[in-house]
Amino acid sequence: MQKITVEEIDAIYAQQVANTWQVKQTSIAQRTTWLGSLKQIIRIKEEEIKAAIYKDFRKSPIETETTEILASLLEIDLFIKNLKRWAKPKSVNSSLLFASTKAKLHYEPKGNTLIITPWNYPFQLPIVHLVASIAAGNTVILKLSESTPHINAVINDIISNLFERKHVAVMVGEVEETTHLLSLKFDHIHFTGSPNVGKIIMAAAAKNLSAVTLELGGKSPAFIDKSVNLRETVKNIIWAKFVNMGQTCIAPDYLLIDKNIAADFEKTIRQEILSAFGTSAISSTDLARIINEKQYDRLASYVENLEASSAEWIVKGENYRDQLFIHPMVVKNMPMNSPIMQDEIFGPILPIIYYERLQDALEIVARKEKPLALYIFSKDKQYQDRVLQHTTAGGTTINDAMIHIIHPALPFGGVNNSGIGQSLGIYGFKTFSHERAVLEAKYFPMSKMFWYPYTSRTEQVLS
């Protein structure tokens, strides 16, 4: 897929603006039909999707099946099943004062929307946010990441077969083109990516007072209490941390573990990493690759920095730049000011902090930016409650990791540095809709009691 030019962006944008009213008028039945067709094409193209993502970063076809295709299909099904109900005007409770009125919430399409997505889940993320915006009745410019050319071509193929460009247009661009896109006036900008770029998006949106949703990232901690089934917890963490080669926004970034189980934890995680990826992890077909040299070098610099520090490796292996392969690693005793404890890791390196008092672990988390996700592994209800009450996060799963993102009735989003706004399911539908307050005076204007002249009215009301 070719990089878009500024002139092409302007032409597509103008077509979409001219087409906004027509798209806004589309019926829920028509939008549901589009979603059904999208689902059908995805099913037909499953193998093509798997092959394309494999070419982009060697992601296992089984992982693509679950984390990209299934995740997209579940979201489409949720919309197909519920869109009619979600889009229906909703009556709201009234009070005695408003007894003569009827109050409702109407869901209007926002209009022209821009969706910008990253490279790490290069099929699922564009599709799920696109589904919400189409379902809400908007035009969409979908700006994909430049780092995943193969899957971008498949997405473009799917979308351009289903939609006219004046309704949905797929684009690939780098900073220059995206900066131009951001200078245009959109009714809503939905961005998924890093907090640093999120700030650029928000500043650009402010110039046009465009509504904005930011799905960002950060350091998501996992608390592990001594009460857990250790082997099950370790297997759970290994999957959550190393799926997609650690390049997941809600992956556990670092672990906070009760010191009493330190020795058992280390023994178990060594055994389980070996059992998951074998003696030669690079030969494992389950491990994806780092997306590009830039990301590889960033991760390799963490390793270099750790080697020059007090850090001790619990699990380590060889890294290969020419194959963009970083071995799954577990490390402890790293200095708290080392880059790996400051930046979002976004790769297969797992730092461990042992705590003697839970309070110390809570303070470590409190000193950092608010995370996108936080995990609690404990059978002890008091422990779970204490962690929940003394922390904040976009979302939390207790005694499991990451699956809160696919729950059909829970919102997905961050807090401040990890994101602003909510996505997925009904929350995604609402994000891309304007929730309009509509009040009807059924029998007489209720404002009558406030009309001029004030004096006589006040006397009447008071008498």
Choose between 163 and 191: whose C-beta lies nearer to ligand NAD: 191
User: Which DSSP string do the residues of 172-225 spell out, in sequence order?
Assistant: E--HHHHHHHHHS--SEEEEES-HHHHHHHHHHHHHHT-EEEEE-----EEEE-
Given the residues 63, 68, 249, 272, select the one marked as catalytic.
249
CB of residue 212 to ligand NAD, shortest distance in Å: 13
Cβ–Cβ < 8 Å for 251, 402? yes
User: Which DSSP string do the residues of 302-362 spell out, in sequence order?
Assistant: HHHHHHTTT-EEEE----BGGGTB---EEEES--TTSGGGTS---SSEEEEEEESSHHHHH
CB of residue 87 to ligand NAD, shortest distance in Å: 24
CB of residue 164 to ligand NAD, shortest distance in Å: 23
Choose between 109 and 419: whose C-beta lies nearer to ligand NAD: 419
Cβ–Cβ < 8 Å for 125, 70? no
Residue 435: CB atoms within 10 Å: 10
Q: Write out the residues near ligand NAD by the rule CB under 6 A.
A: 116-120, 125, 143, 145-146, 175, 178-179, 192-194, 197, 200, 215-217, 249, 344, 346, 372, 414, 419
Choose between 118 and 425: whose C-beta lies nearer to ligand NAD: 118
172-209: b (≥16 Cβ within 10 Å) or e: bbeeebbebbbebebbbbbbbbbbebbebbeebbeeee
Choose between 148 and 391: whose C-beta lies nearer to ligand NAD: 148
Given the residues 63, 215, 266, 344, select the one marked as catalytic.
215
Cβ–Cβ < 8 Å for 127, 72? yes
Choose between 4 and 83: whose C-beta lies nearer to ligand NAD: 4
Active site residue 7: no
18-56: b (≥16 Cβ within 10 Å) or e: ebbeebeeeebeebbebbeebbeebeebeebbbbbbbeb
| Spatial CB neighbours of 207, under 8 Å, sequence gap ≥ 6 | 183
**Short-list 332, 232, 328, CA closest to 274:** 328
CB of residue 357 to ligand NAD, shortest distance in Å: 30
Choose between 233 and 423: whose C-beta lies nearer to ligand NAD: 423
Q: How far is CA 49 from CA 41, 119, 350, in A?
A: 11, 14, 30
CB of residue 99 to ligand NAD, shortest distance in Å: 44
CB of residue 191 to ligand NAD, shortest distance in Å: 7
Alpha carbon distance 182, 167 (integer Å):
18
CB of residue 159 to ligand NAD, shortest distance in Å: 16
Choose between 201 and 387: whose C-beta lies nearer to ligand NAD: 201
Active site residues: 215, 249
